[in-house]
Amino acid sequence: MQAILQKEISAFFSSAIGYLVIGIFLVVNGLFLWVFNGDFNILNYGFADLSSFFLIAPWIFIFLIPAITMRSFAEEKKQGTLELLLTKPITTWQLVLGKYFGSLILVILALLPTLLYVLTIHELGKPEGNFDLGATIGSYLGLLFLSAVYTAIGIFSSSITKNQIVAFILAVLLCFLSYFAFEGISNFQLFGSEIYALEYLGISFHYKSISRGIIDTRDVIYFLSLAGIFLSLTKYMIYKTSL
């Protein structure tokens, strides 16, 4: 599994695409948070707070993570190397998890430079350091769990097709629906009442919950279970390929 993981990381950074994807993520965040005038601009916010970043990051991840994962299995299928990998002395789970953790590490590497935002907020606070550290840590944990689910969805989408563009579009759609659809549906009035319970099934509800700085085991179990479901589906798709 370690060899698969290292291969994923080296393959991503062996071309300009890897640096471009991470660069776009950081530039887009930087423009919205520090340059463009608007609701997301931290300097116009009035007080030291990173809530704008944690509000916009999940939506940027909807495009960033599928861009990272789209080639995972789709490229192997297109080049005909997936069958070769399946003949190696590794289990299907090791192959799937190697691809998964390789992509997840890349997402984490894209997140690391944003820790500079925390340092900036620390300096901007009056007095210095006057910001909600607990909520910030909780929000970063929320982003990590969100990344884990989005990456699992992206890996699954890549296992379905040989076309990277199709894998990208499918992953974007699934990530969007998983994050927003249940919350959106719960706001519609059906039979004279709102179906609030549906909101609990969506990623948005649990992401906002954990971002408050309180680690609820129900939120953790939700994220891990959802990631596990998509990884299991990926394993099933790869197993079908090996038949």
- pLDDT by residue (tens digit) across 103-122? 999 999 889 998 888 888 87
- CA pair distance 61, 54, nearest whole angstrom: 11
For residue 22, the model assigns a pLDDT of 85
* The one-letter amino acid at 158: S
Structural tokens at position 24:
């776009």
Domain span including residue 34:
2-242
Candidates 51, 64, 150, 143; CA nearest to 100 is 150
pLDDT at 170: 96
Please report the beta strands in the chain, taking only residues with DSSP state E, as ranges in sequence order.
189-190, 193-194
Any bridge partners for residue 10, and if so which?
none
Residue 135 CB partners (closer than 8 Å, separation 6+): 51, 211, 212, 213
Model pLDDT, residue 192: 46
Instruction: Write down the pTM of the prediction.
Output: 0.89
Structure tokens at 100: 């998964």
Question: Which long-range CB contacts under 8 A does 41-47 form with residues at least 24 apart?
Answer: 42/117, 42/121, 42/124
- Write out residues in the chain with pLDDT < 70, as ranges: 45-48, 125-131, 184, 186-197, 242-243
Q: For the chain, how many structural domains are there in total?
A: 1
Beta strands in 86-168 (DSSP E): none
